[in-house]
Amino acid sequence: MNIVVCMKQVPATSRVEIDPETGTLIRLGAESRTNPYDLYALETALRIRERTGGRVTVLTMGPPQAEQMMQDAYRLGADDAVILSDRKFAGSDVLATSYTLSQGIRMLGIPDLILCGRQTTDGDTAQIGPALAEHLGIPHAAWVGAILKADKKSIEVRQTLASVTQISRLKYPCLVTVEKDICVPRLPSYRLKRETAGRPVRVLGFRDLPETDLSLCGLVGSPTRVESMFSPPENPRKVMLEGDTREKASALVAVLREKKLVEGGEAR
């Protein structure tokens, strides 16, 4: 049983602002961490491996610094780690990112199961997983809240949709994206830390992909373009409530009564 887990390194803080003078972005801080949602995908993979045997490979597209995330994944129990890294991948949107990941997976050989997190904390689209499944031509189930059964042929999953829960069975190969409450990720083990120290992480570039078609990668392969950025506009009708705490509270309650949002007062 081969499992690939897609993980991404994301900025540790989300503090980005627009410089009011130049209208450009300022990012404060360059530290990275593992996308927290992906730890649930990795944990799910490790638990399935415990039952069925096999290998867990972690795959990412990102800068070479993702090596740190991969070492962490080894300490949690991953068997293998592959980083797809190339300047030609710069500026990838959903289409180009999922395409590049699909190429990485084709190169590794299509596994039985691919696991993704629910979303990333920087892109926050929750779209890469299903897009990747489409590139590979395999079925997927997204936002899975529980794995009910996983054997060497198929997986049974439970998803909560808007008004129903659905239990489905998917034969391998397939892709599953997991919810945050699917399991509690384990902590890195000291034994594994010692055992995996110095274990290499494979870094592959554009030239290593099975199809080397530049028009599908990076900026050129990304149909969406950010035309401009702006700060959200200010609301012109705002009312500041003045006075001491009691006065502000009574002014607020008076407004709410006037708008019939709360009961009481002379209005009734």
Partner 1 sequence: MTTIHFDAAACNLCRQCIEKCPFGALTLGDEGLEVNEKCRMCGVCVKVCPVRAIRFEQKPSRDPADKSKWKGILIFAEQENGELHPVTYELIGEARRLAAKVGYAVFAVLVGGEETEKNAEELLPYGVKEVFYYQHPGFSGFRADCCADAVADCISQLRPSVVLIGATALGRSLAPRLSVRFHTGLTADCTKLDINPNTDLVQIRPAFGGNVMARILMEYSRPQFATVRYRVMDRAEKTDGPTGRVKRMPVSDAMARSGIEVLKISPLPREKTLEEEEILVVAGRGAKNEEGVALVRSLAEALGGRLCFTRPMAECGLGDGGSQIGLSGRTVRPKLIITCGVSGAIQFTAGMSGSECIVAINSDPNAQIFSIAHYCVVDDLFQAVPAILEQLETGKEAL
Residues 141-180 that bind partner 1 (CB under 8 A): 141-143, 156, 159-171, 174, 180
Kindly state the tokens that stand for 116.
């993704």
CB of 42 to ligand AMP, least distance (A): 9
Identify residue 144 by its one-letter amino acid code: V
Give the interface segment with ligand AMP, choosing from 118-126, 133-141, 198-206, 240-248 (CB under 6 A): 118-126
What is the x/- site pattern for partner 1, positions 238-267, by CB under 8 A? xxxx---xx-xxx-xx-xxx-x-xxxxxx-
The bridge status of strand 80-84 relative to strand 154-160 is unpaired
Binding partner at 6 among partner 1, ligand AMP, ligand FAD, none, C-beta below 5 to 8 Å by kind: ligand AMP
- Among left, alpha and beta (phi > 0; psi -120 to 50; other), residue 81 is beta
Contact status, residue 154 vs residue 172, Cβ threshold 8 Å: yes
Of 124, 151, 195, 211, the one binding partner 1 by CB under 8 A: 124
Of 2, 32, 34, 35, the one binding ligand AMP by CB under 6 A: 35
**DSSP 8-state class, residue 196:** H
Return phi, psi of residue 116, to 5°: -130, 160
Kindly state the tokens that stand for 202.
């494979």
Contact residues for ligand AMP, defined by CB under 6 A? 6-8, 35, 37-38, 41, 60-62, 97, 101, 116-117, 119-120, 123-129
